[in-house]
Amino acid sequence: MPAPVAPDTIFFDGVCNLCHGFVQFIIRHDPAGRYRFAALQSDAGRALLASHAIEASASIDPESVLLLSQGRLYSHSDAVLRIARGLGGVWRLAAVGQLLPRAFRDALYRFVACNRYRWFGRQESCMLPTPELQARFL
């Protein structure tokens, strides 16, 4: 019998309002619980990244959502497009974004990332999940 596959983990900036909204969006559209979440600032998030030999240097000023899927780490636009595709349904259409050159996609991603606090604000601390969602957060 094959070993159970760990759910994909999304690492996000725990104080970013845009990132918080993104996590809430995923939760609403992922009733099967395919994704679990870890703030880049959290000890659990840093430990999981370190266990995969990935230094969490982004935890000081995280610029990207990261996706750890089957032992492989995706960042920037690749992470967002993979997450959308994993949600299924109409969200799979986001995969057409991969037809654009990665340099262009990532430049657009970085532009939004560099301005996210100015446009959307930030929280004083990482979000706390509700008791119902706590099992999906590291």
On the question of pLDDT at 60 being above 80, the answer is no
Q: How far apart are CA 95 and CA 131, in angstroms?
A: 33
- What was the pLDDT predicted at 44? 86
Q: Largest Cα–Cα distance in the chain?
A: 50
Q: pLDDT exceeding 70 applies to what percent of the chain?
A: 78
Q: Which two tokens stand for residue 58?
A: 């982004």
On the question of pLDDT at 25 being above 70, the answer is yes
- What was the pLDDT predicted at 55? 57
Q: How far apart are CA 59 and CA 64, in angstroms?
A: 10
Average pLDDT of span 58-83:
81
pTM: predicted TM-score of the whole model, two decimal places: 0.82
Lowest-pLDDT choice from 37-46, 55-64, 78-87, 88-97: 55-64
Average pLDDT of span 73-101:
89
Q: How far apart are CA 120 and CA 63, in angstroms?
A: 14
pLDDT tier at 137, thresholds 50, 70, 90: confident
Q: Identify the helix (H) or strand (E) that includes residue 81.
A: helix 76-87
Crossing angle of helices 102-120 and 17-29, in 10° steps, is 110
Q: How distant is the alpha carbon of residue 81 from its chain centre?
A: 11
- What was the pLDDT predicted at 58? 44
